[in-house]
């Protein structure tokens, strides 16, 4: 069997990588003794894509308020997504079903290029977080003029 | 368990109903169901759904949730792809102890909250005992 190299931020996406990522997430859930409840992971799944002169990160965070979220870039290309999923139910009552995860989460991602940390922009709409990560000047593609002698 | 999810993020909806005409993936939203003294509260996670695209229907003791997602993700250029986007569908059987005429719902931050008020007669009541 051919071994595939684990590349969390490969430039091309393929189903085998997706499968591996899913398997990792599945085993992480069983092996990590955290406050996860009922099959739902607290850590949000993320999608990252590149378009033009920026990268975009999207995460589904239903029920999370903007004030409970922290997004920042360190070291040029390290993106940290921190937050808390708070319970929404009233204090007094009885649970019939609890599938929504509760707790704090941190995800750190390394981007394949440096980001202009001052221009990072995040918005939260209908429970979906979208972070725009503009490329740093040094990371932008540059056209090199070829001179004919 | 009937509602077990297949992925950590959200589970695919079960195909136990007529096929739909809209393409794409469909998920079963994660829900919390909580009972207070006066009502049942149902919280359903439907991230990415605009409140106008939520269809909540009650008929013959069944509450059906249909939420349509507006496509946001690009088709190419992914560096990391951990989840897919898709519509949400889930149906719930509502017992007769719920007053269907007073069911109400509101959406906030990608969570739909459905209020299912109990019928007056099933609410617990304190009976005063008078001394003669």
Is residue B59 in a domain? yes
The total number of structural domains that make up chain A: 2
Is residue A26 in a domain? yes
Same domain, A59 and A129: yes
Cβ contact B109:A63 at 8 Å: yes
Residue B20: how many CA atoms within 13 Å on its side-chain side?
14
Same domain, A33 and A66: no
Same domain, A80 and A50: yes
What CATH number should be reported for the domain holding residue B89?
A: 2.60.40.790
The total number of structural domains that make up chain B: 1
Predicted complex ipTM: 0.77
CB contact under 8 A, B5 and A99: yes
CA-nearest residue of chain A to B28? A99
> Whole domain around residue A36: which residue ranges?
14-41
Determine phi and psi for A110, rounding to 5 degrees: -105, 120
| Strand (E) or helix (H) holding A22 | helix A15-31
Same domain, A34 and A81: no
Same domain, A76 and A112: yes
Same domain, A126 and A110: yes
Buried b (16+ CB within 10 A) or exposed e, A120-148: bebebebbbbebebbbbeebeeeeeeeee
Is residue A75 in a domain? yes
CB contact under 8 A, B47 and A65: no
Same domain, A37 and A107: no
| Strand (E) or helix (H) holding B6 | none
Interval A16-53: pLDDT, tens: 766 776 777 666 655 444 333 334 578 999 999 998 88
Task: Scan for tokens 């005992």, then name that residue.
Answer: B129
Is residue B8 in a domain? no
* Range with lowest mean pLDDT among A74-78, A100-104, B11-15, B65-69: B11-15
Distance CA A25, CA B5 (A): 14
Interval A64-118: pLDDT, tens: 999 999 999 998 899 999 999 999 999 899 999 999 999 999 999 999 889 998 9
Taking alpha carbons only, the member of A31, A28, A33 closest to residue A45 is A28
Return all residues near A138 (Cβ < 8 A) that are at least 6 apart: A114
Is residue B39 in a domain? yes
CB contact under 8 A, A9 and B79: yes
> Whole domain around residue B102: which residue ranges?
23-72+82-120
With cut-offs at 50, 70 and 90, classify the pLDDT of residue A1: very low
3-state helix, strand, coil in chain A (%, to 5): 15, 40, 45
Residue A75, min C-alpha distance to chain B (Å): 19
Residue B132, min C-alpha distance to chain A (Å): 36
Sign of the dihedral through C-alpha B69, B41, B57, B51: negative
Same domain, A36 and A76: no
Q: What residues of chain A, 127 to 146, have a C-beta less than 8 Å from chain B?
A: 127-128, 130
């Amino acid at each position: 069997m051919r071994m595939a190299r684990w590349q969390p931020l490969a430039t091309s996406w393929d189903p085998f990588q997706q499968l591996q990522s899913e398997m990792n997430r599945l085993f992480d859930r069983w092996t990590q003794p955290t406050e996860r409840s009922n099959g739902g992971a607290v850590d949000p799944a993320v999608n990252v894509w590149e378009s033009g002169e920026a990268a975009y990160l999207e995460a589904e965070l239903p029920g999370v308020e903007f004030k409970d979220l922290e997004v920042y870039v360190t070291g040029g290309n390290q993106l940290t997504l921190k937050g808390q999923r708070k319970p929404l139910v009233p204090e007094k009552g009885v649970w019939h079903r609890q599938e929504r995860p509760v707790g704090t989460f941190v995800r750190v991602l390394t981007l394949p290029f440096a980001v202009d940390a001052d221009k990072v922009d995040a918005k939260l709409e209908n429970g979906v977080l979208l972070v725009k990560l503009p490329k740093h000047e040094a990371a932008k593609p540059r056209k090199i003029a070829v001179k004919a002698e | 368990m009937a509602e077990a999810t297949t992925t950590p993020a959200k589970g695919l909806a079960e195909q136990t109903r007529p096929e739909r005409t809209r393409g794409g993936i469909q998920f079963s939203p994660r829900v919390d169901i909580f009972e207070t003294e006066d009502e049942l509260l149902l919280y359903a996670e439907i991230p990415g759904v605009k409140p106008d695209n939520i269809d909540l229907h009650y008929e013959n003791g069944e509450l059906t949730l249909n939420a349509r997602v507006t496509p946001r993700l690009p088709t190419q250029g992914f560096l990391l792809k951990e989840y897919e986007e898709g519509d949400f569908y889930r149906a719930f059987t509502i017992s007769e102890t719920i007053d269907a005429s007073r069911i109400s719902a509101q959406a906030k931050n990608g969570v739909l909250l459905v209020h299912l008020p109990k019928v007056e007669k099933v609410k617990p009541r304190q009976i005063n005992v008078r001394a003669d």
